[in-house]
Amino acid sequence: MKLLQTTLLASALALAAAGAPSPAHAVDALELVNRTLDQASDLAALPRQQVQLKRPPLVHEHDQVAKGGPKVVQFTLPIVEKEITIDGEGTKMHAMTFGGSIPGPLMVVHEGDYVEVTLVNLASNTMPHNIDFHAATGAMGGGDLTVVQPGEEVTLRWKATRPGTFVYHCAPGGPMTPWHVVAGMHGTIMVLPRDGLKDGEGKALRYDRAYYVGETEFYIPRDADGNFKAYGSHAESLPDTLAAMRGLVPSHVVFNGAAGALTGENAMKSKVGETVLVVHSQANRDTRPHLIGGHGDYVWEEGKFNNAPLKDLETWFIRGGSAGAALYTFHQPGMYAYVNHNLIEAVLLGAAAHFKVEGDKWNHDLMTTPSAVGAIAPDTDLSLPSSN
């Protein structure tokens, strides 16, 4: 702490000497020194929490209501460039990822906490990267402060001042920014209110499980015969990929990095009576989540918890470059489909997931079949009456 104080003092005095020749400026400089030291002392006194992130759709353990005062929440986020398979036909692409997954892990903190992220660009990577937090306050969301070459790391700290769900993504500049994003470099941070989620009347809302669905569109180039092309490296794929991106017609629109990544055996799980929080992000394009056979009991379409949630939605809207959140309590067992309700993108391009919900009894009052499936009776008149 003494070394930190000495360094801060020297920096502040250097600034004062460079631009404060008058006595009045000298007083301002002294105030700057004292304020800087006070802030450093306050931060040093805060408790620190090291969080072990989880691969989406899972979310790391967290308190829904903050315990105690603000703290410094520490995350380590390795950058991993790797080849992945994105559909059942074996289509491959060279991905760029935070934490080795698409999307990157969901981080959870509380309003007033300090977020401290160590970004590690592995030596095996080939490109510079950075991170832009939409939740942070400061030019470029920290992007200009976090540029790391392969084999380098950097730590960024910022204060979580606005509750909600916010996208983070790589933003190296120019065409590299959209390329890195659609190659997988995006994720979400959730800043919970210190007293937890509330409905529009201030009633506490809680969840039994939380899942994170990160939607991504890919732009895989095709050859003259219409087949997806394969490349030996990121650099080799770049010219063709940029050309495909300019067409604004994705080849794939998927949840969590691949078509089928959250379906069947990979379905998200719940039980009848449980309330599930689903955080859904799309860093680049608009999307319209819909739970087939369920609803959005409470939905923060814009992902901002200072705003009252919408209620009883059938389909909600997530703007490109944002993350939203929805709560739903399951009332019936079964396999539910959770889709982007642009059904072309859901069925043909891959934007679909499953919830497998366990329960002992089916509630026939909510849904039943009064008559079994059978043949249509002969001579049945099924025509509708005319408007006359």
Looking at the annotation, which residues are catalytic? 129, 132, 134, 169-170, 180, 185, 290, 314-315, 341
Q: Is the backbone of residue 241 left (phi > 0), alpha (psi -120 to 50) or beta?
A: alpha
Please say whether the beta carbons of 179 and 241 come within 8 A: yes
Residue 185 labeled ligand binder: yes
Residue 134 labeled ligand binder: yes
Residue 341 labeled ligand binder: yes
Whole-angstrom Cα distance, residue 127 to residue 270? Answer: 40
Please say whether the beta carbons of 299 and 186 come within 8 A: no
Residue 180 labeled ligand binder: yes
Q: Tokens at residue 262, please?
A: 């959250």
Q: Which residues pair with 50 in a beta bridge?
A: 74
Please say whether the beta carbons of 358 and 273 come within 8 A: no
Per the annotation, binding residues for Cu cation are: 129, 134, 169-170, 180, 185, 341
Annotated binding site: 129, 134, 169-170, 180, 185, 341
